[in-house]
Amino acid sequence: MEKTRLVILTNSLTPNLPLAANGLLANECRRSPLASVACISNRGGGSPETCISVMLTLNMDRKRIAVVPGDGIGKEVIPAAIDVVRATGVPLDFSDFDWGADRYLRDGYTIRNEDFAMLEREFDAVFVGAMGDPRVKSNVHAKEILLGMRFQMDLYANVRPVKLLDASLCPLKDAAPERIDFTVIRENTEGVYMDMGGTFKRDTPDEVATQEDINTRKGVERVIRYAFDYARRHGRKRVLMADKSNVMSYAGGLWQRVFQLVAKEYADITPQHMYVDALCLQMVREPQSLEVIVTNNMFGDIITDLAAALQGGLGMAASGNIHPGKTSMFEPVHGSAPPLAGKNVANPMGAILSGAMMLEHLGFESEAKRMETAVVAAVKEKMLTPDVGGTKGTAEVVKFIAKSVS
C-alpha cells in the first residue's frame, strides 16, 4: 500500500496563509474514506516561534480500472455508470481502451495477446460494455475480447446476482422482491465455449459435426468451491448444483462426484441438486426456494437469461467475471443494441449495478451498497428508461442515481 505523508508547519507569527492551507487540506482529506488527519501541538514553553503542525496521512492506494466501453449503447452506459461510481468518492483511476468494432474495422484486430497480461499486471479490475456491431458480421471482435479475457485471464467464476427490485418489473403474477433474490455462479472457462470440435464431409448429405464439452476436475472443483464460499460470505444456506447428468453421464458424473465431495467441507450449507430443465421450471414457479446456483458454462448462459427476465430484463442484469485475488472483469449482460445507440434511451441500471459489484470486489462494500440503494430508489421513483416501463432518458436516470449516491 503506497502512502504519502504531508506535513505543514505554521509559525505563530505568520499563521494566516499556512493555516488556511491546512484547513483546506484537512477538509479535503476528511471527504475521503481512506484519509486520516492528526493534529500535533508543541507549545515549547510559550515561545513566539511555537509551531503547530498538521499532519495529513493520505492512503494513496488508488485502484486502477481499465475501461472498455465496447460498441453501441456500451459507449453510453459505461461512462454513465462511471459517473455514479465517481459519485461515491472511492479513489479510482480510470483508463479507457478503444477495443471494439471501430478499432477492428480500422486496424484489423482488437486486442492482442500481450494486452491480457498488461491488464493483469497494471489494473485492479476491468469494466466492459456490450460488444456487437452489424458491420462485423462474424462478431469475431467480441469473441476475441470477451472470451479472450475470460480464458486468458482465467476468470473462472461468472457471478450473476438475480434480485427483483420492484414487483412492477417482474412478469410473474404475485411477484415480490423478497421472492426473487438468488445468485447464479456459472463456470466460465470450460465447456463447449472452448471451441473444440470439427466437421466431417462438410456440405454433403453425410456431414457430421461435433462440439466437445470440456470439463476438468480442477475447473469443476474450483467453481463449486467458489459457490459454497460465496454462499457463506453472503449468509446463504443452500447451494444448488444444476446439470443434465441423466443424459450427459460422463461430464455430469464428474460434476456430481465433485459437488458431493466439496459439500462435505461446508456443514453449515445444505447441498441441493436439480436437472437443469427442472430448474427452469422451479425458477418460474418457486424462485423463493433458490439461493445460490452453480452450473456449467452453457447451462449457466441459458438460465441467467431466464433469470434476468424475472428481475426486469437484461437491462437490469449485472455480472462479474471473477478470479479471486486477481484482476477481474465486470460487465452488464445486455447486448449492444445498435438501433438504440445515441438516442438517450439505453437502460444504465445493469452497468451501474455491475459497477457496484466491482466496488464490492475491490473492498468498498459500503460504497457498493450506496449504489445499490440509489438504484432501488430510482426504481421506486419510476426514474426508468422505456424498456422497463419508464419515460426517462439515460442521462436523467444517471443524474438521479449519482445525486442519491453522493
Choosing from 71, 104, 163, 193, which is the catalytic residue?
193
CA proximity to 358, closest of 332, 308, 320, 327: 320
Q: What is the pLDDT at residue 61?
A: 77
Choosing from 201, 305, 380, 403, which is the catalytic residue?
305
Choosing from 156, 226, 243, 244, which is the catalytic residue?
244
Distance, in Å, from the CA atom of 131 to the CA atom of 99, rounded to the nearest integer, reads 9
Tell me if residue 195 is catalytic: no
Q: Where exactly are the structural domains of the chain? A: 3-59, 62-153+322-385
Distance, in Å, from the CA atom of 200 to the CA atom of 340, rounded to the nearest integer, reads 41
Task: For residue 227, give Cα distances in angstroms to 39, 159, 231, 266, 279.
Answer: 47, 9, 6, 11, 17
Tell me if residue 193 is catalytic: yes
Choosing from 277, 343, 380, 403, which is the catalytic residue?
277
Please check whether residue 355 is in contact with residue 370, taking contact to mean a CB–CB distance below 8 angstroms. no
**CATH number of the 62-153+322-385 domain:** 3.40.718.10
Q: What is the pLDDT at residue 25?
A: 43
Region for residue 147 given its phi and psi (left: phi exceeds 0; alpha: psi -120 to 50; beta: otherwise): alpha
Q: What is the pLDDT at residue 259?
A: 98
pTM of the model: 0.85
pLDDT, tens digit only, all 406 positions of the chain? 343 344 444 444 444 434 334 444 444 443 333 443 333 344 444 444 443 333 333 444 799 999 999 999 999 999 999 999 999 999 999 999 999 999 999 999 889 999 999 999 999 999 999 999 999 999 999 999 999 999 999 999 999 999 999 999 999 998 999 999 999 999 999 999 999 999 999 999 999 999 999 999 999 999 999 999 999 999 999 999 999 999 999 999 999 999 999 999 999 999 999 999 999 999 999 999 999 999 999 999 999 999 999 999 999 999 999 999 999 999 999 999 999 999 999 999 999 999 999 999 999 999 999 999 999 999 999 999 999 999 999 999 999 999 999 8
Q: For 122-200, where are the E strands, in sequence order?
A: 125-128, 157-163, 181-187, 197-200
Q: Which three cell numbers stand for residue 168?
A: 412492477
3-state helix, strand, coil in the chain (%, to 5): 45, 20, 35
Q: What is the pLDDT at residue 109?
A: 87
Region for residue 77 given its phi and psi (left: phi exceeds 0; alpha: psi -120 to 50; beta: otherwise): alpha
Q: List CB contacts of 222: < 8 A, sequence separation 6 or more.
A: 156, 157
Q: List CB contacts of 376: < 8 A, sequence separation 6 or more.
A: 165, 166
Tell me if residue 301 is catalytic: yes
Q: What is the pLDDT at residue 302?
A: 98
Q: What is the pLDDT at residue 373?
A: 97
Q: What is the pLDDT at residue 163?
A: 97
